[in-house]
């Protein structure tokens, strides 16, 4: 569905939701699936224990035909209980508000350094290259305990995966390189643990006699894949939204202590991983008088649910004071984003620092000319030229 405003979701979502918040759609591969666009039904559906995240199930909706692949071991986002709960329980402590807060100085340092480099370089600069991509990648390096000497290379490789100029061969080779790199990191930490997530997880899994190198490599890779592109696109879209709206930007400058609320509202408004919450039904059940049958594919459109006017008044306006916590940008239910506290903190630090340090930052190209990622699974902007 095409967007009429590059920042908001496709207007057809509102029409579909009005007609039927649970409707039938045909996917690109010709298969039928359910599309949920209503907020209440989305949450109820995602709370069910009769649904599965197993991509190998033939009923799982394939949004991009041909990309179904067998997930690596440790990819908890594609697991079901009880396996999912066992692994999630091991990792969840790493992402509590308290634990994430301890990362504040590191995130601030990474952000400041990226901005220093941008300021020292030519104008206009591409904010995606200068800030949106390096910050989340370097934060994940910090989290996983990637040695400083390797960070430049690690960050360069993660960029290849997300660049639209990369060929599919380059992407595949780079994904393999990253997997081998994380595997090597895990091997090193087995004998020489550090103060990082991978080392702590090795210890925890060993403590219950369930340590498996491949699973831990998969977890490391999932954190990289899940935390990089998403946060990077949210940084770019948030910065563009602010640069395009002087009133919103003035609000951020006057009340930087309200940035967490602004971030929450931007997360709701953009809900960039609109279709990440796809599922397949494994046991018949009813919702709103509709029977979901085992084998049915279901797509929960997070952006549509996060713009449901029954829950969010004037949903297409960015309203910092609305208290938008119950949006669906991070999903809902047992798979709700594990890294959400980290993503919130990164966004808060990046936005506050960027606009405090460069008060005269402006877009170098008008919004209409910005290359938005309308064809990608994670919405965002390919390039964001800025000047000051």
Q: Tell me the CA end-to-end span of the chain in Å, nearest whole number.
A: 35
Residue closer to ligand HEM by CB (options 174, 238) is 238
Q: How far apart are CA 256 and CA 250, in angstroms?
A: 10
| Of 343, 345, 349, 370, the one binding ligand HEM by CB under 6 A | 343
Cβ proximity of 377 and 273 under 8 Å = yes
Residue closer to ligand HEM by CB (options 118, 234) is 234
Residue 231 interacting with ligand HEM (CB under 6 A): yes
Q: How far apart are CA 311 and CA 307, in angstroms?
A: 8
Give me the residues paired with residue 281 across strands. 51
- Nearest Cα neighbor of 240 from 115, 361, 108 is 361
Residue closer to ligand HEM by CB (options 46, 363) is 46
Residue closer to ligand HEM by CB (options 336, 366) is 336
Q: Which two tokens stand for residue 232?
A: 């990077």
Q: How far is the CB of 347 from ligand HEM (least distance, A)?
A: 7
Mark residues 64-83: x for contact with ligand HEM by CB under 6 A, - for none: ------------xx------
Residue 35 interacting with ligand HEM (CB under 6 A): no
Q: How far apart are CA 65 and CA 292, in angstroms?
A: 23
Residue 263 interacting with ligand HEM (CB under 6 A): no
Residue closer to ligand HEM by CB (options 38, 226) is 226
Alpha carbon 107 to chain centroid, angstroms: 17
Q: How far is the CB of 281 from ligand HEM (least distance, A)?
A: 15
Q: How far apart are CA 254 and CA 247, in angstroms?
A: 10
Q: How far apart are CA 59 and CA 101, in angstroms?
A: 40
Residue 135 interacting with ligand HEM (CB under 6 A): no
Residue closer to ligand HEM by CB (options 174, 306) is 306
Stretch that binds ligand HEM, among 20-28, 150-158, 172-180, 221-229 (CB under 6 A): 221-229
Q: How far is the CB of 239 from ligand HEM (least distance, A)?
A: 13
Residue 222 interacting with ligand HEM (CB under 6 A): yes
Phi first, then psi, for residue 354 (nearest 5°) are -60, -50
Residue 198 interacting with ligand HEM (CB under 6 A): no
Q: What DSSP letter does each residue of 116-143 carry, written as one string?
A: HHHHHS-SSEEHIIIIITHHHHHHHHHH
Q: How far is the CB of 244 from ligand HEM (least distance, A)?
A: 19
- State the DSSP H helix or E strand holding residue 224, giving kind and residue range, or none if neither: helix 213-243
- State the DSSP H helix or E strand holding residue 290, giving kind and residue range, or none if neither: strand 290-292
Give residues in contact with ligand HEM (CB under 6 A): 53, 76-77, 88, 140, 222-223, 226-227, 230-231, 234, 272-273, 276-277, 329-331, 335, 337-339, 342-343
């Amino acid at each position: 569905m095409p967007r009429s405003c590059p920042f908001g979701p496709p207007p057809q979502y509102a029409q579909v939701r009005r007609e039927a918040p649970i409707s039938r759609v045909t996917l690109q591969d010709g298969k039928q699936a359910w599309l949920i666009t209503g907020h209440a039904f989305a949450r109820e559906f995602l709370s069910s224990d009769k649904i599965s995240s197993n991509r190998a199930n033939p009923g799982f909706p394939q949004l991009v035909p041909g990309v179904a692949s067998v997930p690596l071991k440790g990819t908890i986002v594609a697991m079901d209980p009880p396996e999912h709960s066992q692994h999630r329980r091991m990792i969840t402590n790493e992402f509590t508000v308290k634990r994430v807060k301890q990362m504040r100085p590191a995130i601030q340092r990474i952000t400041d350094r990226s901005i220093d480099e941008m300021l020292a370089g030519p104008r206009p600069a591409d904010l995606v290259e200068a800030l949106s991509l390096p910050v989340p990648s370097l934060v994940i390096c910090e989290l996983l305990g990637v040695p400083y000497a390797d960070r430049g290379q690690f960050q360069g490789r993660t960029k290849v995966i997300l660049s639209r100029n990369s060929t599919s061969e380059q992407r595949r080779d780079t994904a393999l390189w990253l997997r081998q790199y994380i595997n090597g990191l895990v091997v090193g930490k087995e004998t020489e643990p550090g103060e990082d997530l991978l080392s702590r997880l090795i210890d925890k899994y060993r403590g219950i006699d369930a340590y498996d190198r491949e699973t831990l490599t998969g977890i490391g890779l999932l954190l990289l894949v899940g935390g990089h592109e998403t946060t990077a696109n949210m940084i770019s879209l948030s910065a563009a939204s602010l640069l395009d709206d002087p009133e919103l930007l003035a609000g951020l400058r006057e009340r930087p202590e309200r940035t967490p609320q602004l971030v929450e509202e931007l997360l709701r408004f953009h809900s960039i991983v609109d279709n990440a919450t796809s599922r397949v039904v494994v046991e018949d059940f009813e919702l709103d008088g509709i029977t979901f049958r085992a084998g049915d594919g279901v797509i929960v459109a997070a952006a549509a649910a996060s713009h449901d006017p029954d829950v969010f008044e004037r949903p297409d306006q960015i309203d910092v004071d609305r208290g938008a916590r119950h949006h669906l940008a991070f999903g809902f239910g047992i798979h709700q984003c594990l890294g959400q506290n980290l993503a919130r903190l990164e966004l808060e630090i990046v936005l506050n620092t960027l606009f405090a340090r460069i008060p005269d930052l402006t877009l170098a190209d008008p919004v209409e000319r910005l290359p938005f990622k309308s064809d990608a699974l994670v919405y965002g902007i390919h390039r964001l030229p800025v000047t000051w």
